[in-house]
Structure 1
Amino acid sequence: MNNSEIKGLSLDELKSKLTAEKESFAKLKFAHAITPIENPMRLREAKKLVARLNTEIRAKQIAQQ
């Protein structure tokens, strides 16, 4: 998911996407702790996506004020 797709989402959609991505990241991290996953760069990508979603949520909250 790139930045332009993230900016097109509403605040409620962003929050639901954030919870789903956080859960996915936690599962991925747990799987990597047990046995190393095939592509460890997926961890970095997932973490960055969560950060992008948080940033956009905050930007929309500030814009509403």
Structure 2
Amino acid sequence: MGTTVQELGAAVRHARKQQGLDQLLLADLAGVSDRFLRDLEHGKPTVRLKEVLRVLDALGLTLQVRPR
């Protein structure tokens, strides 16, 4: 997915579009606000991890942590 918040947001946006979802529908499926999803997709650095994980789960994505 990359190493920056902007890359994470771009990956979420790409996956959402690939699945034919608009922001409102994905936000509803993930249980987050549409404002949160917009912030995430635009790379806002202060998004909450708990909600990020909900969005990733709704898209069928996982977050991977590994040594550099």
TM-score of the superposition, structure 1-length normalised? 0.31
Greater relative contact order structure (CA < 8 Å, 6+ sep): 1
Larger-gyration structure (1/2): 1
TM-score of the superposition, structure 2-length normalised? 0.30
